[in-house]
Structure 1
Amino acid sequence: MSARCLPASDRAILIELPDLAKTLALFEALQSDRPVGVEEMVPAACTILIEFAPYATTAARIWQHVQRLLARWDAEAQAQAQGSAAAKQALHSRLVEIPVVYDGADLSSLAQLLDIDTTELIARHTGAEYQAAFAGFAPGFVYLAGGHASFDKVPRLPSPRTKVPAGSVAMGGHFSAVYPKDSPGGWQLIGTTPVAMWDLSRAEPALVQPGFRVRFVDVTRASQSTVFLPAKSGAAPAQPPESAAKASTTGSALTIKAAGLQTVFQDLGRLGQTGMGVSVSGALDRQSMRTANRLVGNPTGTAVLENVMGGMHWQCQGSAVLAITGARVAIEVTTAQGQRFQQPQDQAFAVDDGDQVRVGPSTAGLRCYVAVRGGFEVQAVLGSCATDTLAMVGPAAVQAGDAVQVGQAVPANDLHAVQWPAAHAARQWPQAGEPVWLDLVLGPRTDWFEPQSLQLLTEQVWEVTAQSNRVGIRLQGAHPLLRQAQYQGVELPSEGTVLGAVQVPANGQPVLFLADHPLTGGYPVVGAVASHHIDLAGQVPPGAQVRFRVVQPFVVEQLNGLEGE
């Protein structure tokens, strides 16, 4: 067999393999023999995205480790390993049976396409066992491999639907899946299931996870649908998201009078949840978040409020120590006695009961961060207080009328604040109409694009559009990026994407992925913003101009000639 190592960023590589079976075999081997420094691994149809900590390892070391694993696979050993894995799976992996009412909008047309009737299509779909291969797109959305050989001919829709209802059972290519929530989608809809694929009230929110076995059960004619659920693990149930107003602790709080355009809780995000289709998320400008916490004396990963473009107003209940960092804003404090004064940014300041704080509109940068001594009393979801706006995981956004309680991350009677150097204020704060230079690492699909387009990528000015959000920055250029002739009209199998990835849809106008980006994507990624400029990217406002500067070339490492291909 052959394998390629493609750069995905300055802290990630993409291992490309011939097919799904070899991809899952390598993924299983990497889980058993995990390289030092690896933080996340995202398997997909023919690739494995490996993200690592640069201070602990390098891309070259991980690739060497992968090559050692691949080199062990001669034809005989591979056959034995596959047989052993299959036997182990049959004995030990969890089987989930999903009841389906076969009433999908595309059931009849798909049967006609396969030159069979709907009864035969249902029989083929229910007559096979599927392997949960990898997660992506949304929490609880798992690609199920297997099924009848004729399903390899199933195409995706020419134009995706704007809304596919939750619980829709669908087919795309040789995969089946169930949509866990209402979302756009281009797969063929063949039925519906009453079973929730994603439920935070369960001990294991994802009904199906990679490595499980799945069988679909036809309940179309049943008077009552039988609900099949996997065995509970015995862990305490995960709690659903709560609004900040529902916090039950007593003591100091911030009563929100105006929340601004978007104000959400953020911390360093949630690691280790990619198997359920949940990305890390977290603060878009981690330097500003950490600085705010240092100013008030919190651990640097304590949850803060992330606000877009200012416009906040709150009144204090009890006393508190606050700090506001990030985008440049004016801060006005009105005491309970009616005195007003301007509070400098990037400094800790104390407020008393009844004091009001107003945060003006941002004049440079996009997102500001509010930290309070002791942190905020907010319910963690899957181990983090970060709000993932795409996956809809985490605490609800802050609204006017919420009483956001102050927590106990540090002793309440210790009012010492750690002042941080003033260098934070001297950072580059992007403004509308001004260019922002972002360093770029090429890959993993740079070779999909024409040489002239790669030249345009770095020479052209890219306007930041108003459609940008925490998922990504939509860019608009005078000249779109065009694919090479052999890749025009080619559909890229879904593969893992990184924070900072510059994905290029069919229209040739790039999207720069931010913290709430999907785990996998089906459009080619031409490059990724270097990790030292991720925080800067999170502060680029609509109307600003982005320029890319390549700091790492596109270099492919290839391993050929292994036995067993």
Structure 2
Amino acid sequence: MRFLPVNIDALLVELETLEQVMALTDALQYKKDVWNINEIIPAARTVLVRYNSIIMDGNKLAQYIAQLDVSSGQLRAGELVTIPVSYNGEDLGFVAEYLGISVADVISRHTSNEYQVAFCGFAPGFAYMVAKDIQLNVPRRQSPRVRIPAGSVALAGEFSSVYPQASPGGWQLIGVTNVKVWNIYRDEPALFKPGTRVNFIDVSKTATKYSLPQSKKVTPPVEQQVQPQDIEILATGIQTLLQDNGRIGQAELGISESGAMDKAALHSANRILGNPTNEAVLEITQGGFKARINSAMLIAVTGASCEIKVTTISGESYFAHMYQPIQLEEGDIVHLGNVQYGVRSYVAVRGGLQIQPILASCSFDTLAQVGPNPLKVGQTLAIKNSQTFNALSLNETPVISYPCKDDVVELNIMFGPRTDWFTQQAIQQLTSQLWQVTPASNRIGLRLLGEIPLEREKQQELPSEGTCMGAIQIPANGQPVLFLNDHPLTGGYPVIAAVCNYHLDLAGQIPVNAKIKFNPIGVFKEFEGSHVNHV
């Protein structure tokens, strides 16, 4: 085992085989509460462990994990799901030719073995399945497809999977199924979880009777439900989303945390109004938001600095202050002007908005497309009918200094987990040169541009492994991508370092064209207990 740093509250355990990954994942499930582990993200050869760093020390946790027996290579067997497949995939002929067998042999091998889900990642509900002695190991396509239809059955490396929704991808397509493996409105959206056993059957040779979990209750989308019209949206600006603290602990479904990009601003907005700090708010990108108020209410605006203009029903206009409660009356129109500093502003309503959570959160994940949809012009929102209120907080102030496009923003970073994949010159360049935020940046990540791209020392392909918020991933072009709240759960490019947790709110408020200076708080160092042999 190797124990590599990921962030202040996370480490990466590197193992030799997928079987060891499965065994360690299973063993850690029994220790989560005892060892203060928040989340476990298994991948092809690694397990990313997020823990409560206030209670648990990283070196101590590594020592505990090093004592676990991972020699069994077994994952607890889950329920059996049988998937009917029409074997007509575009790459079926290539797979047969690559393996030196017939198309019929490919189908026979795929249907005569029981698969088991090792881990989920890439997209919500996307399961990496393995089978013993399957002999269907094929490479990914050299050029990924722009769009692969939902239900496509595919192979890549030692894995098989079913694409849960239409998406880009580079796996070899061998067939298609009509089974919906991901449905956000089921009680359990993902058909596959780690441990699930899967049998594929050829529908051309078998009666279409197959095993699926019992039907789940379907909940209609929030916009289909009748609600009071307390707030009417007149303009959304570039993007207006509902956000709260996000979805922690949904890794087994292939979903990252998401949530408000500036959690300090989220919490301040709610404290100002006496709400619970996790109450859902509006996250508005670059201002331009406008709404008509249809009932008296108290709101607060925090985060990125912008003008707040209120126009009353009689035509009188006035400007309100940020980080203070704002009383609005029926007929008022509130307008947030262009952002002057920062990127995202937050609007909270006293009592909270009446929003139906999806997977225990009201946040919208722009990558996974999970959560209440982005707001649209003409949409209405309702306020919760609350009977009890907490006291207002009148002394809230911004926690961070919001940057403008001409600023240089310093972000503290921790090296790891793949710092040793890069040349010493690249490691120095990461922290010595400035990195400009490009217009391709969004909630998924900041795409950065530097004068000198970063070069790798190790050129081999990195098996997909878990990533964390703040990870600085280096793709083939050598220009960093700084992962933010809606980042993919797993990634196939090496991560050279990660922005420290306490600077993530600031990272989420850096505007396009601003520059970033990375400030290392230490050197790359593995945790104690690395290289312990337990196989």
TM range (shorter): over 0.9
Name the residue aligned to 2:417. Answer: 444
Scaled by the length of structure 1, the TM-score of the pair is 0.91
Name the residue aligned to 2:25. Answer: 27
Name the residue aligned to 1:63. Answer: 62
Q: Does 1:127 align with 2:112?
A: yes
Q: Does 1:284 align with 2:268?
A: no
Pick from 223, 226, 231: which aligns with 1:248? 226
Name the residue aligned to 2:9. Answer: 11
Deviation at 1:238, TM superposition (A): 5.4
Name the residue aligned to 1:523. Answer: 493
Q: Does 1:95 align with 2:80?
A: yes
Name the residue aligned to 1:175. Answer: 159
What SS does structure 2 have at the residue aligned with 1:124? helix
Alpha-carbon contact 1:270-1:383 (below 8 Å) kept = yes
Name the residue aligned to 1:542. Answer: 512
Name the residue aligned to 1:196. Answer: 180
Name the residue aligned to 2:336. Answer: 359
One-letter code aligned to 1:444: P
What SS does structure 1 have at the residue aligned with 2:68? helix
Change (3 A) 1:561 1:366: closer
Deviation at 1:253, TM superposition (A): 1.2
What runs of 5+ residues in structure 1 fail to find an aligned partner? Answer: none
Name the residue aligned to 1:417. Answer: 392
Pick from 217, 220, 233: which aligns with 1:237? 217
Task: Map residues 215-234 of structure 1 onto 2, 5 A cutoff.
Answer: 215-220=199-204, 225-226=208-209, 228-232=211-215
Q: Distance between the aligned counterparts of 2:128 and 2:61, measured in 1?
A: 26
Q: Does 1:110 align with 2:132?
A: no
Scaled by the length of structure 2, the TM-score of the pair is 0.96
One-letter code aligned to 2:461: E
Change (3 A) 1:560 1:479: closer
Q: Distance between the aligned counterparts of 1:340 and 1:365, measured in 2?
A: 25
52-61 or 39-48: bigger deviation: 52-61
What SS does structure 2 have at the residue aligned with 1:552? coil
One-letter code aligned to 1:310: G
Q: Distance between the aligned counterparts of 1:434 and 1:15, measured in 2?
A: 37
Q: Distance between the aligned counterparts of 1:415 and 1:248, measured in 2?
A: 28
What SS does structure 1 have at the residue aligned with 2:175? strand
Change (3 A) 1:121 1:268: same
Deviation at 1:430, TM superposition (A): 1.2
Structure 1 residue ranges, 4+ long, deviating more than 3 angstroms after superposition: 224-228, 557-563
Over residues 432-468 of structure 1, what are the superposed CA-to-partner deviations in whole Å (9 max), with x where a residue is unaligned?
1221111001100000001101111011111101111
One-letter code aligned to 2:151: G
What runs of 5+ residues in structure 2 fail to find an aligned partner? Answer: none
Q: Distance between the aligned counterparts of 1:55 and 1:539, measured in 2?
A: 26
Task: Map residues 117-516 of structure 1 onto 2, 5 A cutoff.
Answer: 117-146=102-131, 148-152=133-137, 154-220=138-204, 225-226=208-209, 228-232=211-215, 237=217, 239-243=219-223, 246-250=224-228, 253-408=230-385, 410-411=386-387, 414=389, 416-422=391-397, 424=398, 427-484=400-457, 487-488=458-459, 490-516=460-486
Alpha-carbon contact 1:142-1:177 (below 8 Å) kept = yes
Alpha-carbon contact 1:443-1:527 (below 8 Å) kept = yes
Alpha-carbon contact 1:247-1:404 (below 8 Å) kept = no
202-211 or 316-325: bigger deviation: 202-211
Q: Distance between the aligned counterparts of 1:561 and 1:386, measured in 2?
A: 41
Alpha-carbon contact 1:456-1:481 (below 8 Å) kept = yes
Q: Distance between the aligned counterparts of 1:171 and 1:420, measured in 2?
A: 57
Query: Which has the larger helix fraction?
Result: 1
One-letter code aligned to 1:451: Q
One-letter code aligned to 1:461: L
Alpha-carbon contact 1:200-1:240 (below 8 Å) kept = no
Deviation at 1:284, TM superposition (A): 0.6
Change (3 A) 1:294 1:512: same
Q: Distance between the aligned counterparts of 2:420 and 2:221, measured in 1?
A: 42
Over residues 58-80 of structure 1, what are the superposed CA-to-partner deviations in whole Å (9 max), with x where a residue is unaligned?
2112111102224xx6xxxx5xx
What SS does structure 2 have at the residue aligned with 1:517? coil
Alpha-carbon contact 2:275-2:390 (below 8 Å) kept = no
RMSD between aligned residues: 1.8
Deviation at 1:416, TM superposition (A): 4.6
What SS does structure 2 have at the residue aligned with 1:455? helix
Change (3 A) 1:292 1:247: farther
Q: Distance between the aligned counterparts of 1:526 and 1:46, measured in 2?
A: 18
Deviation at 1:225, TM superposition (A): 4.5
Q: Distance between the aligned counterparts of 1:524 and 1:448, measured in 2?
A: 7
One-letter code aligned to 2:226: S
Q: Distance between the aligned counterparts of 1:395 and 1:237, measured in 2?
A: 18
What SS does structure 2 have at the residue aligned with 1:330? strand
